[in-house]
Amino acid sequence: MRVAVAVGLVMAVLGTGCGLQDVNTPVPQPDTTIFGRIAGITPVAGEEGAVDVAIQAGLPESMSSALQRDGRPVPQLEKDLKVSLKVTAETLCLADYLPTDIDSFRVGQEVAVVPVPGSSAMVGSKKLLATAAELSVFSAFQVRYLAGSLEKLPPEVAEPSDPARINSAGAELSPLPLYGGKVLYFAAGLTPSARPDLHPAPMGAVRAGMGTPESLQTWAVGGFRPYRVEWSKDGWGKPEPVQLSGIPEDANVRMTWVRKDETACLIEVLLLSGERQLWAARRDDARKPWGALEQLTLPSGRSVGDAQRFGPELTYMIWTAYEPETSDLWLQSPDKPSQILEPRINTMGPEYSPRLGPKSILYFCRGDRQLLFENQMVREVRLPGKQRRPLLEAAPVADGSWVFCRIPRYTPGQLDWNIAVVPRQGDGWGAPVLVDDWKP
């Protein structure tokens, strides 16, 4: 049983309330993971959408049992240490590996809390204040962060793994819909198992082009390559690999733009060195193989990709220029020098995944947020719910009525991103539907 990480987290919490004077002034504390049981949930007066979650701090029973089985000492929290936790609309609430609302939590549940940086403070020696960046049912937290403490992985973690479907327990990303969503290009790969001793095979569907389970291609585990799938009267077909020549064996590849008649495309190639390159390919007919790749040289730097052509004659292009730890969006126009986009779009944070919708609406990502530039304003794309539900890489169909994106499932070690479809509803968006269950 591997519980060293869990012990470290618990020990950090144990010292939180010790040796402090009993005063009413909150004293800032290091931000550490908090464990305990929910004792109450009440609205915060005068703060719409915020609730206070009272937590009786304590070591989860499953972790106590794991420590006892390993012959390790079981840490004891200071008696009566209580946590007053603020949950806001920005908090990520997790249960059953998926984002949910605070309404799904109940008194008596064991939970784990990742605080917002800088929000932890003690009042006296018995009360800890914090704002939640993440609030998880402990079983979900344990699977995600403490997989080493599990005697076995839950079976649903490794499923689905059907290569005839679009989503799997591996990586699916960068959706590009055509023909109103009836054709979909996306990138896919396998993810390494978080517990190879319990589940030696990588997670996900071994698709055509990845090799065999016994002899996988160099890129297949931890990497990705492009696929195409088409809808017919019988439903979604089987995703097929996009055949491209001249790609290094160990490179990751994804398509970031495909012309509506499928005769031209842009391809981002991520080399083992970390450098990204942008390539273009053409063909005379969608039924023919893609032609020779042409690397594009852009003025924004050495590492570029994630591009899209647009405009009546496709003479405009928007792309992502990558630097260490950050990235920015650039624009190429037929009558102007290439330039970085304005400060409302580009900030100190990483901006990426530019996708143009009707009326020049720009979808793009900044960090872990999906944003939209519309009517000269930047705002976040929010899915329905009281608490935040993450999505990334939004790509609209031609008329803007649906948006393809990727949404997370919180599985061991790393996120399992799946492709979903979201309806545009006025100024907002509806609930996401996993693409395998969606009908164009």
- Tell me the per-residue pLDDT of 182-208, one tens digit each, with 9 for 90 and over: 999 999 999 998 888 888 889 999 999
Query: Which residue is listed with tokens 């220029």?
Result: 321
Residue 63's identity, in one-letter code, is M
What SS3 class is residue 85?
strand
CB distance 170 to 189 below 8 Å:
yes
> Averaged over 283-296, what is the pLDDT?
94
Give the mean model confidence (pLDDT) for residues 50-55: 96
* Residues whose CB falls within 8 Å of the CB of residue 394, separated by 6 or more in sequence, listed in order: 353, 355, 363, 370, 372, 381, 403, 404, 405, 422
The yes-or-no verdict on residue 66 having pLDDT over 80 is no
Whether the per-residue pLDDT at 16 is higher than 60: the answer is no
Sorted by where each starts, the structural domains of the chain and their CATH numbers stand as 4-149 (2.40.50), 157-437 (2.120.10)
Distance, in Å, from the CA atom of 10 to the CA atom of 94, rounded to the nearest integer, reads 20
In whole angstroms, what is the distance from residue 313 CA to residue 318 CA? 14
SS3 of residue 13 by DSSP: helix
Confidence of residue 22 (pLDDT cuts 50, 70, 90): low
pLDDT above 70: residue 425: yes
Nearest CA-CA partner of 85 in 42, 26, 21, 30: 42
Lowest mean pLDDT of 18-32, 360-374, 377-391, 419-433, name the range: 18-32
Q: What is the number of residues in the chain?
A: 440
Going by pLDDT thresholds of 50, 70 and 90, the confidence category of residue 15 is: very low
pLDDT in tens, 121-137: 999 888 999 999 999 99
Give the global pTM. Answer: 0.90
DSSP 336-389: EEEEEPPTTT--SS-EEEEEE-GGG-EEEEETTEEEEEETTEEEE---SSSS--
Q: What is the mean pLDDT of residues 14-26?
A: 57
Q: For residue range 145-191, list pLDDT tens digits in order.
A: 888 777 777 777 767 789 999 999 999 999 999 999 999 999 999 99
Residue with tokens 């990497």: 223
